[in-house]
Amino acid sequence: MYVESRRQTDEGEEMVLNMGPQHPSTHGVLRLELVTDGELVTKVTPHIGYLHRCFEKHCENLKYAQIIPYVDRMDYLAAMNNELGYVLAVEKLLPEVKISPKLDHIRVLIAELNRIASHLVAVGTYGLDVGTFTPFLYCFRDRERILDLFEWCSGARLLYNYLWVGGVAFDLPEGFIEKTEEFCDAFEKTVDDVDRMMSYNRIFIKRTNQIGVIKPETAVQYGLGGPNLRGSGVKWDLRRDEPYSIYPELEFNVIVGTGEKGPLGSCWDRYMVRVWEMRESVRIIRQVCERWKKSDWKTQDVNATMPRRIKPIAGAEVYMRSETPRGELGYYIVSDGQEKPYRVKARSPAFTAISCVEECGPGVLIADAVAFVGSLDIVLGEIDR
Protein backbone atom coordinates (compact mmCIF):
# COMPACT_ATOMS: atom_id res chain seq x y z
CA MET A 1 0.00 0.00 0.00
CA TYR A 2 1.50 3.34 -0.96
CA VAL A 3 0.51 7.01 -1.22
CA GLU A 4 -0.40 7.93 -4.78
CA SER A 5 -1.40 11.55 -4.30
CA ARG A 6 -2.72 14.15 -1.93
CA ARG A 7 -5.38 16.69 -2.75
CA GLN A 8 -6.85 19.61 -0.88
CA THR A 9 -10.59 19.79 -0.18
CA ASP A 10 -12.77 22.27 1.72
CA GLU A 11 -12.62 20.01 4.78
CA GLY A 12 -8.87 19.38 4.61
CA GLU A 13 -6.47 17.14 2.78
CA GLU A 14 -7.43 13.81 1.20
CA MET A 15 -5.02 11.01 0.50
CA VAL A 16 -5.37 8.40 -2.26
CA LEU A 17 -4.01 4.95 -1.40
CA ASN A 18 -3.55 1.95 -3.65
CA MET A 19 -4.32 -1.34 -1.94
CA GLY A 20 -2.78 -3.88 -4.28
CA PRO A 21 -2.48 -5.15 -6.91
CA GLN A 22 -0.13 -7.48 -4.99
CA HIS A 23 -1.61 -7.03 -1.52
CA PRO A 24 -2.01 -10.46 0.12
CA SER A 25 -5.33 -9.54 1.73
CA THR A 26 -7.19 -8.84 -1.51
CA HIS A 27 -7.82 -12.51 -2.42
CA GLY A 28 -6.12 -12.26 -5.78
CA VAL A 29 -4.54 -9.72 -8.08
CA LEU A 30 -6.89 -6.80 -7.39
CA ARG A 31 -6.21 -3.09 -6.95
CA LEU A 32 -8.47 -1.03 -4.72
CA GLU A 33 -8.09 2.72 -5.02
CA LEU A 34 -8.98 4.17 -1.62
CA VAL A 35 -9.66 7.87 -1.07
CA THR A 36 -9.15 8.50 2.63
CA ASP A 37 -9.79 11.26 5.10
CA GLY A 38 -7.37 10.32 7.84
CA GLU A 39 -8.19 6.68 8.62
CA LEU A 40 -11.69 6.91 7.13
CA VAL A 41 -12.30 5.61 3.62
CA THR A 42 -14.53 8.02 1.69
CA LYS A 43 -14.40 6.33 -1.72
CA VAL A 44 -13.45 2.88 -3.04
CA THR A 45 -12.76 2.14 -6.70
CA PRO A 46 -11.90 -1.46 -7.66
CA HIS A 47 -9.59 -1.97 -10.64
CA ILE A 48 -9.72 -5.45 -12.21
CA GLY A 49 -8.23 -7.12 -15.28
CA TYR A 50 -4.79 -8.10 -13.96
CA LEU A 51 -5.63 -11.82 -14.35
CA HIS A 52 -7.49 -11.72 -17.68
CA ARG A 53 -6.90 -14.91 -19.73
CA CYS A 54 -9.40 -14.60 -22.62
CA PHE A 55 -11.47 -17.57 -21.42
CA GLU A 56 -14.49 -16.79 -23.58
CA LYS A 57 -12.40 -16.25 -26.72
CA HIS A 58 -10.55 -19.52 -26.14
CA CYS A 59 -13.89 -21.33 -26.01
CA GLU A 60 -14.64 -20.35 -29.62
CA ASN A 61 -11.56 -22.29 -30.74
CA LEU A 62 -11.96 -25.44 -28.64
CA LYS A 63 -14.28 -28.42 -28.84
CA TYR A 64 -16.95 -28.64 -26.15
CA ALA A 65 -15.11 -31.30 -24.14
CA GLN A 66 -11.81 -29.41 -24.34
CA ILE A 67 -13.34 -26.38 -22.59
CA ILE A 68 -13.76 -28.19 -19.25
CA PRO A 69 -10.11 -27.70 -18.13
CA TYR A 70 -10.48 -23.97 -18.87
CA VAL A 71 -13.69 -23.85 -16.84
CA ASP A 72 -11.72 -25.30 -13.89
CA ARG A 73 -9.42 -22.30 -13.94
CA MET A 74 -12.07 -19.62 -13.49
CA ASP A 75 -12.96 -20.23 -9.86
CA TYR A 76 -10.04 -22.51 -9.09
CA LEU A 77 -11.23 -23.04 -5.51
CA ALA A 78 -14.52 -24.57 -6.70
CA ALA A 79 -13.54 -26.24 -9.96
CA MET A 80 -16.00 -29.14 -9.59
CA ASN A 81 -18.90 -26.68 -9.24
CA ASN A 82 -17.74 -24.82 -12.35
CA GLU A 83 -17.64 -28.10 -14.26
CA LEU A 84 -21.11 -29.10 -13.08
CA GLY A 85 -22.70 -25.91 -14.40
CA TYR A 86 -20.91 -26.20 -17.73
CA VAL A 87 -21.71 -29.86 -18.43
CA LEU A 88 -25.35 -29.29 -17.47
CA ALA A 89 -25.46 -26.43 -19.99
CA VAL A 90 -23.98 -28.54 -22.79
CA GLU A 91 -26.32 -31.42 -21.94
CA LYS A 92 -29.29 -29.07 -22.39
CA LEU A 93 -28.06 -28.62 -25.97
CA LEU A 94 -28.06 -32.42 -26.42
CA PRO A 95 -31.57 -33.77 -25.72
CA GLU A 96 -30.43 -37.29 -26.62
CA VAL A 97 -28.15 -37.41 -23.55
CA LYS A 98 -29.96 -38.89 -20.54
CA ILE A 99 -28.15 -38.77 -17.19
CA SER A 100 -28.41 -41.87 -14.99
CA PRO A 101 -29.28 -41.61 -11.26
CA LYS A 102 -25.81 -42.92 -10.40
CA LEU A 103 -24.14 -40.12 -12.32
CA ASP A 104 -26.42 -37.50 -10.76
CA HIS A 105 -25.51 -38.72 -7.28
CA ILE A 106 -21.77 -38.66 -8.06
CA ARG A 107 -22.06 -35.10 -9.33
CA VAL A 108 -23.98 -33.81 -6.31
CA LEU A 109 -21.66 -35.61 -3.89
CA ILE A 110 -18.56 -34.12 -5.52
CA ALA A 111 -20.12 -30.64 -5.84
CA GLU A 112 -21.05 -30.49 -2.16
CA LEU A 113 -17.61 -31.68 -1.08
CA ASN A 114 -16.12 -28.90 -3.19
CA ARG A 115 -18.57 -26.40 -1.67
CA ILE A 116 -17.22 -27.30 1.78
CA ALA A 117 -13.60 -27.09 0.55
CA SER A 118 -14.25 -23.64 -0.94
CA HIS A 119 -16.01 -22.34 2.16
CA LEU A 120 -13.14 -23.63 4.30
CA VAL A 121 -10.77 -21.40 2.33
CA ALA A 122 -13.19 -18.47 2.73
CA VAL A 123 -13.60 -18.97 6.47
CA GLY A 124 -9.93 -19.72 7.18
CA THR A 125 -8.47 -16.84 5.17
CA TYR A 126 -11.09 -14.48 6.56
CA GLY A 127 -9.67 -15.22 9.99
CA LEU A 128 -6.27 -14.12 8.67
CA ASP A 129 -7.84 -10.95 7.23
CA VAL A 130 -9.15 -9.85 10.61
CA GLY A 131 -6.19 -10.96 12.69
CA THR A 132 -6.62 -14.54 13.91
CA PHE A 133 -4.50 -17.47 12.77
CA THR A 134 -5.48 -20.73 14.49
CA PRO A 135 -8.86 -21.28 12.74
CA PHE A 136 -7.01 -21.10 9.42
CA LEU A 137 -5.03 -24.22 10.39
CA TYR A 138 -8.18 -26.12 11.35
CA CYS A 139 -9.90 -25.18 8.08
CA PHE A 140 -7.00 -26.08 5.83
CA ARG A 141 -6.44 -29.38 7.64
CA ASP A 142 -9.95 -30.51 6.75
CA ARG A 143 -9.72 -29.05 3.26
CA GLU A 144 -6.71 -31.27 2.70
CA ARG A 145 -8.90 -34.26 3.60
CA ILE A 146 -11.36 -33.29 0.87
CA LEU A 147 -8.52 -32.80 -1.63
CA ASP A 148 -7.29 -36.29 -0.74
CA LEU A 149 -10.73 -37.62 -1.70
CA PHE A 150 -10.66 -35.66 -4.96
CA GLU A 151 -7.18 -36.93 -5.76
CA TRP A 152 -8.42 -40.46 -5.11
CA CYS A 153 -11.33 -40.22 -7.54
CA SER A 154 -9.91 -37.87 -10.21
CA GLY A 155 -6.13 -37.90 -9.89
CA ALA A 156 -5.90 -34.14 -9.21
CA ARG A 157 -6.10 -31.91 -6.16
CA LEU A 158 -7.14 -28.51 -7.51
CA LEU A 159 -8.05 -28.55 -11.24
CA TYR A 160 -9.84 -31.80 -11.99
CA ASN A 161 -11.41 -32.20 -15.47
CA TYR A 162 -13.56 -34.83 -13.73
CA LEU A 163 -17.17 -34.07 -14.69
CA TRP A 164 -17.65 -34.72 -18.39
CA VAL A 165 -20.56 -34.16 -20.76
CA GLY A 166 -22.75 -37.24 -20.29
CA GLY A 167 -20.43 -38.85 -17.75
CA VAL A 168 -17.42 -38.51 -15.46
CA ALA A 169 -13.76 -39.27 -16.01
CA PHE A 170 -13.68 -42.22 -13.58
CA ASP A 171 -16.15 -44.10 -11.42
CA LEU A 172 -15.89 -43.60 -7.67
CA PRO A 173 -13.25 -45.97 -6.28
CA GLU A 174 -14.16 -48.77 -3.92
CA GLY A 175 -14.51 -47.44 -0.37
CA PHE A 176 -14.97 -43.80 -1.43
CA ILE A 177 -18.43 -43.51 0.14
CA GLU A 178 -17.22 -44.93 3.46
CA LYS A 179 -14.25 -42.54 3.54
CA THR A 180 -16.58 -39.64 2.75
CA GLU A 181 -18.79 -40.54 5.71
CA GLU A 182 -15.71 -40.72 7.95
CA PHE A 183 -14.78 -37.23 6.79
CA CYS A 184 -18.28 -35.92 7.62
CA ASP A 185 -18.06 -37.35 11.15
CA ALA A 186 -14.75 -35.60 11.80
CA PHE A 187 -15.67 -32.40 9.98
CA GLU A 188 -18.75 -31.60 12.08
CA LYS A 189 -16.45 -31.39 15.11
CA THR A 190 -14.19 -28.99 13.22
CA VAL A 191 -17.10 -26.63 12.52
CA ASP A 192 -17.90 -26.67 16.24
CA ASP A 193 -14.26 -25.79 16.98
CA VAL A 194 -14.28 -22.92 14.46
CA ASP A 195 -17.51 -21.58 15.98
CA ARG A 196 -15.97 -21.66 19.42
CA MET A 197 -12.66 -20.08 18.40
CA MET A 198 -13.87 -17.48 15.91
CA SER A 199 -17.56 -17.26 14.93
CA TYR A 200 -18.80 -16.35 18.40
CA ASN A 201 -15.56 -14.87 19.66
CA ARG A 202 -16.30 -11.45 21.14
CA ILE A 203 -13.35 -9.76 19.40
CA PHE A 204 -14.24 -11.27 16.01
CA ILE A 205 -17.85 -10.15 16.34
CA LYS A 206 -16.78 -6.61 17.23
CA ARG A 207 -14.47 -6.65 14.22
CA THR A 208 -17.16 -7.68 11.70
CA ASN A 209 -20.72 -7.02 12.91
CA GLN A 210 -20.99 -3.30 12.04
CA ILE A 211 -19.06 -2.99 8.78
CA GLY A 212 -19.69 -3.76 5.12
CA VAL A 213 -23.46 -3.73 5.49
CA ILE A 214 -25.21 -4.66 2.22
CA LYS A 215 -28.93 -4.01 2.43
CA PRO A 216 -31.26 -6.60 0.84
CA GLU A 217 -32.42 -4.21 -1.88
CA THR A 218 -28.80 -3.30 -2.70
CA ALA A 219 -27.84 -6.97 -2.95
CA VAL A 220 -30.69 -7.59 -5.39
CA GLN A 221 -29.93 -4.48 -7.46
CA TYR A 222 -26.31 -5.52 -7.93
CA GLY A 223 -27.26 -9.10 -8.81
CA LEU A 224 -25.38 -10.65 -5.90
CA GLY A 225 -25.75 -14.36 -5.34
CA GLY A 226 -24.83 -17.13 -2.96
CA PRO A 227 -23.78 -16.27 0.61
CA ASN A 228 -23.39 -12.58 -0.30
CA LEU A 229 -27.08 -12.40 -1.22
CA ARG A 230 -28.36 -14.73 1.48
CA GLY A 231 -26.22 -12.93 4.06
CA SER A 232 -28.46 -9.91 3.43
CA GLY A 233 -31.53 -11.98 4.32
CA VAL A 234 -32.68 -12.79 0.77
CA LYS A 235 -33.76 -16.44 0.63
CA TRP A 236 -32.63 -17.45 -2.86
CA ASP A 237 -30.79 -20.65 -3.68
CA LEU A 238 -30.86 -22.14 -7.18
CA ARG A 239 -30.62 -25.64 -5.77
CA ARG A 240 -34.06 -25.05 -4.26
CA ASP A 241 -35.63 -22.29 -6.39
CA GLU A 242 -34.56 -23.46 -9.86
CA PRO A 243 -33.56 -27.03 -9.03
CA TYR A 244 -31.33 -29.23 -11.14
CA SER A 245 -29.86 -32.72 -10.87
CA ILE A 246 -31.22 -34.54 -7.76
CA TYR A 247 -31.40 -31.51 -5.45
CA PRO A 248 -35.25 -31.50 -5.44
CA GLU A 249 -35.14 -34.99 -3.88
CA LEU A 250 -32.85 -33.99 -1.01
CA GLU A 251 -33.62 -32.26 2.26
CA PHE A 252 -31.64 -29.17 3.18
CA ASN A 253 -32.26 -25.64 4.43
CA VAL A 254 -31.57 -22.41 2.56
CA ILE A 255 -29.40 -20.46 5.00
CA VAL A 256 -29.89 -16.69 5.30
CA GLY A 257 -28.38 -13.96 7.48
CA THR A 258 -30.32 -13.08 10.62
CA GLY A 259 -28.76 -9.83 11.83
CA GLU A 260 -28.20 -11.64 15.12
CA LYS A 261 -25.06 -9.72 16.06
CA GLY A 262 -25.64 -6.40 14.31
CA PRO A 263 -27.25 -4.88 11.21
CA LEU A 264 -28.56 -7.42 8.69
CA GLY A 265 -26.11 -7.89 5.83
CA SER A 266 -22.91 -7.21 7.75
CA CYS A 267 -19.59 -8.98 7.26
CA TRP A 268 -20.47 -11.25 10.18
CA ASP A 269 -23.72 -12.35 8.53
CA ARG A 270 -21.98 -13.28 5.27
CA TYR A 271 -19.31 -15.16 7.16
CA MET A 272 -21.85 -17.08 9.23
CA VAL A 273 -23.92 -18.06 6.19
CA ARG A 274 -20.84 -19.88 4.86
CA VAL A 275 -20.28 -21.64 8.18
CA TRP A 276 -23.91 -22.78 8.38
CA GLU A 277 -23.91 -23.81 4.71
CA MET A 278 -21.06 -26.21 5.40
CA ARG A 279 -23.30 -28.01 7.90
CA GLU A 280 -26.06 -28.20 5.28
CA SER A 281 -23.61 -29.60 2.72
CA VAL A 282 -22.68 -32.33 5.19
CA ARG A 283 -26.40 -33.08 5.50
CA ILE A 284 -26.73 -33.39 1.71
CA ILE A 285 -23.61 -35.56 1.46
CA ARG A 286 -24.93 -37.96 4.11
CA GLN A 287 -28.20 -38.36 2.19
CA VAL A 288 -26.33 -39.12 -1.03
CA CYS A 289 -24.14 -41.67 0.75
CA GLU A 290 -27.18 -43.40 2.24
CA ARG A 291 -28.84 -43.61 -1.17
CA TRP A 292 -25.65 -44.97 -2.67
CA LYS A 293 -25.35 -47.78 -0.12
CA LYS A 294 -28.96 -48.86 -0.72
CA SER A 295 -28.62 -48.85 -4.52
CA ASP A 296 -27.45 -51.39 -7.10
CA TRP A 297 -25.35 -48.86 -9.03
CA LYS A 298 -21.93 -50.38 -8.45
CA THR A 299 -21.84 -52.19 -11.79
CA GLN A 300 -23.41 -49.39 -13.84
CA ASP A 301 -21.29 -47.60 -16.44
CA VAL A 302 -20.89 -43.91 -15.53
CA ASN A 303 -20.09 -43.04 -19.16
CA ALA A 304 -22.88 -44.98 -20.84
CA THR A 305 -24.53 -41.85 -22.27
CA MET A 306 -21.37 -39.87 -23.02
CA PRO A 307 -21.56 -38.79 -26.70
CA ARG A 308 -18.57 -39.65 -28.88
CA ARG A 309 -18.98 -36.38 -30.78
CA ILE A 310 -20.58 -33.29 -29.29
CA LYS A 311 -22.20 -31.46 -32.17
CA PRO A 312 -25.44 -29.61 -31.27
CA ILE A 313 -27.76 -28.47 -34.04
CA ALA A 314 -27.04 -25.11 -35.67
CA GLY A 315 -28.77 -22.16 -34.05
CA ALA A 316 -29.28 -23.91 -30.71
CA GLU A 317 -28.64 -21.73 -27.67
CA VAL A 318 -28.95 -22.36 -23.98
CA TYR A 319 -28.48 -20.61 -20.65
CA MET A 320 -27.82 -22.70 -17.57
CA ARG A 321 -27.20 -21.37 -14.09
CA SER A 322 -26.13 -23.28 -11.01
CA GLU A 323 -25.40 -22.54 -7.35
CA THR A 324 -21.65 -22.46 -6.78
CA PRO A 325 -20.00 -21.60 -3.43
CA ARG A 326 -19.78 -17.97 -4.56
CA GLY A 327 -23.28 -17.72 -5.96
CA GLU A 328 -25.05 -17.90 -9.29
CA LEU A 329 -22.76 -19.08 -12.07
CA GLY A 330 -24.34 -18.97 -15.53
CA TYR A 331 -23.23 -20.25 -18.93
CA TYR A 332 -24.71 -18.98 -22.18
CA ILE A 333 -23.75 -21.22 -25.10
CA VAL A 334 -24.59 -20.75 -28.79
CA SER A 335 -24.04 -23.51 -31.36
CA ASP A 336 -23.51 -23.09 -35.10
CA GLY A 337 -23.64 -26.82 -35.78
CA GLN A 338 -19.90 -27.40 -35.46
CA GLU A 339 -17.89 -29.33 -32.87
CA LYS A 340 -16.76 -25.99 -31.44
CA PRO A 341 -19.25 -23.57 -29.86
CA TYR A 342 -19.97 -20.33 -31.66
CA ARG A 343 -20.12 -18.45 -28.35
CA VAL A 344 -19.62 -19.25 -24.67
CA LYS A 345 -20.42 -16.53 -22.14
CA ALA A 346 -19.83 -17.01 -18.41
CA ARG A 347 -21.77 -15.01 -15.81
CA SER A 348 -19.54 -14.71 -12.73
CA PRO A 349 -20.93 -14.33 -9.18
CA ALA A 350 -17.61 -12.89 -7.99
CA PHE A 351 -17.82 -10.13 -10.63
CA THR A 352 -21.19 -8.94 -9.31
CA ALA A 353 -19.82 -9.11 -5.77
CA ILE A 354 -16.88 -6.81 -6.49
CA SER A 355 -19.21 -4.39 -8.31
CA CYS A 356 -20.97 -3.43 -5.07
CA VAL A 357 -17.73 -2.42 -3.32
CA GLU A 358 -17.92 1.11 -4.73
CA GLU A 359 -21.32 1.70 -3.11
CA CYS A 360 -20.98 -0.24 0.15
CA GLY A 361 -17.27 0.32 0.87
CA PRO A 362 -17.15 4.02 1.84
CA GLY A 363 -17.48 4.80 5.53
CA VAL A 364 -15.15 2.12 6.88
CA LEU A 365 -11.66 2.47 8.28
CA ILE A 366 -8.70 1.43 6.14
CA ALA A 367 -8.22 -1.78 8.15
CA ASP A 368 -11.91 -2.57 7.79
CA ALA A 369 -11.73 -2.27 3.99
CA VAL A 370 -9.74 -5.52 4.03
CA ALA A 371 -12.39 -7.15 6.22
CA PHE A 372 -15.17 -6.01 3.87
CA VAL A 373 -13.52 -7.30 0.70
CA GLY A 374 -12.61 -10.55 2.46
CA SER A 375 -16.24 -11.11 3.49
CA LEU A 376 -17.27 -11.13 -0.20
CA ASP A 377 -15.09 -14.20 -0.87
CA ILE A 378 -14.06 -13.17 -4.38
CA VAL A 379 -11.77 -15.12 -6.70
CA LEU A 380 -10.09 -12.96 -9.32
CA GLY A 381 -9.68 -15.82 -11.78
CA GLU A 382 -13.45 -15.80 -12.12
CA ILE A 383 -13.82 -12.01 -12.18
CA ASP A 384 -11.28 -11.46 -14.95
CA ARG A 385 -11.73 -14.78 -16.81
Give pLDDT, residue 21. 76
Structure confidence by residue, pLDDT tens digits, 83-101: 999 999 999 999 888 899 9
pLDDT recorded at residue 12: 60
The pTM of the full predicted model, rounded to 2 decimals, is 0.92
Q: Kindly list the structural domains of the chain, giving each domain's residue range(s) and its CATH number in brackets, ordered by start.
A: 2-47 (no CATH), 55-384 (1.10.645.10)
- Which residues, 6 or more positions from 81, have their beta carbon under 8 angstroms from its beta carbon? 75, 111, 114, 115, 118, 322, 324, 325, 329
Q: Per-residue pLDDT tens for 208-217? A: 888 889 999 9
pLDDT (0 to 100) of residue 15: 85
Question: Over 60: is that where the pLDDT of 1 sits?
Answer: no
Please determine, for residue 56, whether its predicted confidence score (pLDDT) is greater than 80.
Answer: yes
* Span 89-116, average pLDDT: 92
pLDDT (0 to 100) of residue 25: 55
Give residue 10's pLDDT band: very low, low, confident or very high (50, 70, 90).
low
What's the confidence (pLDDT) of residue 300? 86
User: Which of 251-260, 318-327, 339-348, 357-366 has the weakest average pLDDT?
Assistant: 357-366
24: confidence class by pLDDT, cuts 50, 70, 90: low
pLDDT at position 115 over 70: yes
Express each pLDDT in 60-86 by its tens digit. Answer: 999 999 999 999 988 889 999 999 999
More confident residue, 115 or 51: 115
pLDDT of residue 3 exceeding 60: no
Region label for 223, one of left (φ > 0), alpha (ψ between -120 and 50) or beta (otherwise): left
Say how many CA atoms lie within 13 Å of 153 toward its Cβ: 28
| Among candidate residues 372, 282, 381, the one with its CA nearest the CA of residue 329 | 381
User: Which pLDDT does position 11 carry in this prediction?
Assistant: 58
pLDDT of residue 103: 92
pLDDT of the residue at 297: 82
Task: State yes or no: pLDDT of 7 exceeds 70.
Answer: no
Averaged pLDDT, 342-361: 89
pLDDT for res 6:
59
